[in-house]
Amino acid sequence: MYVRKVKDRELNFAVSGMLWKRSLIMVDQETGSLWSHILGECMDGELKGQQIESLPALMTNWKTWREQYPKTTVLMMSRTSKNYQVEFYRDPSKFVLGMALGERARAWPFDQLIKQPVVNDRFIKEPVAIFFDQESSTALAFQRTLGDQELTFQQKDGLLIDEQTGSIWDRTSGEAVSGPMKGKHLQPVVGIISYRRSWRDFHPETELWQAE
């Protein structure tokens, strides 16, 4: 997900019908410039070299989303593909949750997250937590620092708990649901769900995380 503004200019994007490195290319309707959907960067045209800002986003199934946000409104568009279903991930080894900044990149493969669904990690020295919900095949990234405290998470009896306060957290919303931290929220981190092969194409320098 991206902010669709370059400087003070608001852009409207569409699918160009072209591929680059086997991945979707977007086109903005204002200048006809071509953009990589993975990099958020203009690759050709008047705006070449410009970057649009990434936003944290959640890719999950409707059941999981509706439980968290029951008052959600839905944008209805003409259907151009099959419904999103968990079966989309029938081969988890093909998918990763990736982060990138400049020439640095790190990715957490789904098949490894199935083995270890709670990960305390760092990306460019920043403490991050990666949570994976196997039922919905949902992978999320959050900052592990809350205020001036760095938290370490573990899964115990199916619950997500931080070791510092013993608070229990919801892994899909990043909210503490009980304990001293109740009501506090972890800050989401921008992460991209991608085919593992495509991520490698765009970020060949990627460090791949492995379960312990």
Domain ranges of the chain: 5-44, 62-208
The pLDDT mean for the chain works out to 91
The CATH code that applies to domain 62-208 is 2.102.10.10
**Cα–Cα distance, 16 to 12 (Å, whole number):** 12
Cα 113 to chain centroid distance, Å, stands at 14
Residue 47 tokens read as: 């705006």
Single pTM value for the model? 0.83
DSSP one-letter code for 80: -
The pLDDT, as a whole number, for residue 212 is 86
**Which stretches in the chain have pLDDT values below 50?**
none
Q: Where are the alpha helices (DSSP H) in the chain?
A: 62-68, 110-115, 196-202
Which residue has tokens 């921008």? 190
Q: In this predicted model, what pLDDT tens digit does every residue of 45-103 receive, in sequence order?
A: 999 999 999 988 888 888 888 888 889 888 776 665 555 566 677 889 999 999 999 88
Question: Quick one: pLDDT at residue 85?
Answer: 62
